């Protein structure tokens, strides 16, 4: 029997942690199918995507794009034993969330319920908002158990009533930060439903560098400050640009950014207005091999995560672990699960989210003090390898995915 993973989109460069999880579970003998609500938008993929064996089913991204497929599914879904219960539940949700997205979720769920292979005995939603809604409706129609993984935005921007009701009908849910787990347990009818499982890293894919490759090791070469992340508000890149603009003029540095995103043009304009355009290179979204090469060349890795007005925030960004795995000094913020990874002053540096002055001062200290960078880089390297291996989390997930009759 097999488990269907319901994802927002697949493959996605920014969600390597999901691909890592799927491939690791396949290696443990779990048969997985991928259900994607959207077609891919990234032009590149990571090597791990080529290793994944799971077949992929793409649902209609917009119902009007495939009207015949949707109409056929709606007709067939009415014959399923759980259709009436799912339709009633969706109606109650729609009254509280009268949006096109909520309507689309039910149409996608009907297609999923009707096109799901017969050997699927569990649905598993990655993200607690749209994917979990589609999964919940389809699971009820088919009479299947379902479970979920919650991450960051989906936890903090989904209405409490929606989370509460989903937690009341799924089997179990895992999330990747202690702060997220604590919050979800306050909403769960049974707090034991929620477990903390860090993503961790597959260190076979992030072997430590044989020797330092920092660009600044070459005489008369600027120090490299690197950041990897989508250009979205919660990444705090406006704060980062202001911090860079406030650095003392005697420091010789270059900032390199890897990632796409809707705010990229705005950030480039902001950099120009601050007079930073000659010191910044925008590399766009890149596959993992390029990202790893960039990390190994960096002197400092920075990710100034923050909370946005709608509550969106990072969880525990895997890229921070990736940077530490390559012995690079890391600077970030006291946001969500980041302090679970980075111990301020011991394995990295943390500042208050949104405080560009503190961020600039921390950057200055790191750029001026190579001994401090080396100390933090080594301590971060040792901690991430001893406390954040992927295998511990996969052990936990593998047990949860075992059929109830055989799970220990």
Give SS3 for 351.
strand
Given a cut of 70, is residue 406 above it in pLDDT?
A: no
Closest CA to 366 of 299, 293, 273, 277: 299
Given a cut of 90, is residue 210 above it in pLDDT?
A: no
How far apart CA 227 and CA 281 sit, in angstroms, is 11
How far apart CA 322 and CA 385 sit, in angstroms, is 10
DSSP bridge pairs for 257: 227, 282
Give 108-126 pLDDT, tens digit per residue.
999 999 999 999 999 999 9
CATH 3.40.50.2000 intervals, the chain = 2-200+389-401, 215-387
The chain-wide mean pLDDT, for the chain, equals 95
Given a cut of 80, is residue 295 above it in pLDDT?
A: yes
In this prediction, residue 208 has a pLDDT band, given cuts at 50, 70 and 90, of: confident
Give 16-74 pLDDT, tens digit per residue.
899 999 999 999 999 999 999 999 988 888 899 999 999 999 999 999 999 999 999 99
User: What CATH number has the domain spanning 215-387?
Assistant: 3.40.50.2000
How far apart CA 33 and CA 116 sit, in angstroms, is 9
Q: Does domain 2-200+389-401 have CATH number 3.10.20.30?
A: no
Distance, CA of 244 to chain centre: 26
Percentage above 90 pLDDT, the chain: 90
Q: Which pLDDT value is given to residue 207?
A: 82
How far apart CA 155 and CA 151 sit, in angstroms, is 7
pTM: 0.89
């Amino acid at each position: 029997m097999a488990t269907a993973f319901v994802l927002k989109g697949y493959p996605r460069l920014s969600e390597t942690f999901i691909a890592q999880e799927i491939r690791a579970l396949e290696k443990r003998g779990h048969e997985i199918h991928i259900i994607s609500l959207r077609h891919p938008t990234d032009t590149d993929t990571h090597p791990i995507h080529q290793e994944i064996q799971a077949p992929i089913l793409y649902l209609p991204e917009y119902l009007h794009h495939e009207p015949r497929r949707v109409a056929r599914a709606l007709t067939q879904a009415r014959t399923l034993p759980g259709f009436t219960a799912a339709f009633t539940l969706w109606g109650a949700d729609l009254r509280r969330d009268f949006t096109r997205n909520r309507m689309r979720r039910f149409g996608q769920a009907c297609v999923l319920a009707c096109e799901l292979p017969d050997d699927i005995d569990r649905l598993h939603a990655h993200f607690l908002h749209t994917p979990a809604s589609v999964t919940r409706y389809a699971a009820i129609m088919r009479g299947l158990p379902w479970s979920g993984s919650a991450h960051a935005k989906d936890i903090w921007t989904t209405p409490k009533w929606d989370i509460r009701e989903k937690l009341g009908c799924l089997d179990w849910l895992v999330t990747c930060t202690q702060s997220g787990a604590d919050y979800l347990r306050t909403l769960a009818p049974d707090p034991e439903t929620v477990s903390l499982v860090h993503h961790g890293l597959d260190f076979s894919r992030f072997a430590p560098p044989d020797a330092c490759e920092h660009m600044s090791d070459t005489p008369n070469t600027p120090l490299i400050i690197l950041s990897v992340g989508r250009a979205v508000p919660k990444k705090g890149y406006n704060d980062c640009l202001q911090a860079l603009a406030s650095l003392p003029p005697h420091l010789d540095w270059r900032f390199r950014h890897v990632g796409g995103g809707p705010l990229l043009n705005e950030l480039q304009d902001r950099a120009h207005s601050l007079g930073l355009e000659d010191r910044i290179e925008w590399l766009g979204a890149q596959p993992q091999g390029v990202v790893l090469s960039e990390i190994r060349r960096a002197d400092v890795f920075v990710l100034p995560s923050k909370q946005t007005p709608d509550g969106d925030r990072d969880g525990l960004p895997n890229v921070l672990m990736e940077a530490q795995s390559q012995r690079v000094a890391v600077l970030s913020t006291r946001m969500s699960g980041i302090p679970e990874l980075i111990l301020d002053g011991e394995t990295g540096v943390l500042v208050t989210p949104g405080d560009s002055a503190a961020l600039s001062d921390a950057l200055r200290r790191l750029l001026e003090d190579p001994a401090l960078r080396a100390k933090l880089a080594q301590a971060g390297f040792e901690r991430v390898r001893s406390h954040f291996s992927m295998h511990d989390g996969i052990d936990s997930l593998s047990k949860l995915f075992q059929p109830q009759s055989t799970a220990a």
